[in-house]
Amino acid sequence: MTSILGQSRVLVVDENDKTRQTLVEVLCLLGVKSVDEAGLKMDAYEKFKQTPPNLVLAKLKDGRDDVIGLTDLIRHDPDSPNVIAPVIAIGSVDSFHLVDAARKVGITEMLQAPFTADDLNALVEFVLIMQQDQLAEAAQPQEAPVIESASDVQKEVWPDEAESVSMTEMLLDHYMKHHEVVLSKLKFAQDATRKSIQELRNAHEKVRKLDNTNILTFTDFETMWEGIIDAFVKGGIEEEELFKIEKLITTIPADIKEHYDELSNQDKSFLSLVESLNVDAYRKAKQRVARLQQQPNPLNGKSSADYLPPKPPEKEDPDAFMLTPKRSKK
List pLDDT tens digits, range 67-126: 999 999 999 999 999 999 999 999 999 998 999 999 999 999 999 999 999 999 999 999
170 pLDDT above the threshold of 50: yes
181 pLDDT above the threshold of 80: yes
| Residue-averaged pLDDT of the chain | 84
41 pLDDT above the threshold of 70: yes
> Which ranges constitute the DSSP H helices of the chain?
3-6, 17-29, 41-50, 67-76, 99-105, 117-128, 132-138, 161-207, 212-234, 239-249, 254-266, 268-276, 279-293
- Give the pLDDT score at 154: 52
Please list the residue range(s) of the chain that carry CATH number 3.40.50.2300. Answer: 3-156
- Give the pLDDT score at 150: 57
- Give the pLDDT score at 294: 93
**Please, which pLDDT band fits residue 3 given cuts at 50, 70 and 90?**
confident
**Please, which pLDDT band fits residue 326 given cuts at 50, 70 and 90?**
very low
List pLDDT tens digits, range 185-206: 888 888 888 777 766 556 555 5
Cα dist from 158 to 23, 153, 173, 208, whole Å: 21, 12, 21, 67
Model pTM score: 0.81
39 pLDDT above the threshold of 90: yes
- Give the pLDDT score at 221: 60
- Give the pLDDT score at 47: 97
- Give the pLDDT score at 330: 39
**Please, which pLDDT band fits residue 45 given cuts at 50, 70 and 90?**
very high
The contacts found for 267-273 with CB under 8 angstroms, 24 or more apart, are 267/184, 267/188, 270/181, 270/184, 270/188, 273/177, 273/180, 273/181, 273/184
CB–CB of 175/29 below 8 Å? yes
For residue 276, give the amino acid letter: S
List pLDDT tens digits, range 261-304: 888 988 988 888 888 888 899 999 999 999 999 999 999 999 99
One CATH from 3.40.50.720, 2.30.42.10, 3.40.50.2300, 3.40.50.1400 for 3-156: 3.40.50.2300
List pLDDT tens digits, range 242-269: 888 888 787 778 888 888 888 898 898 8
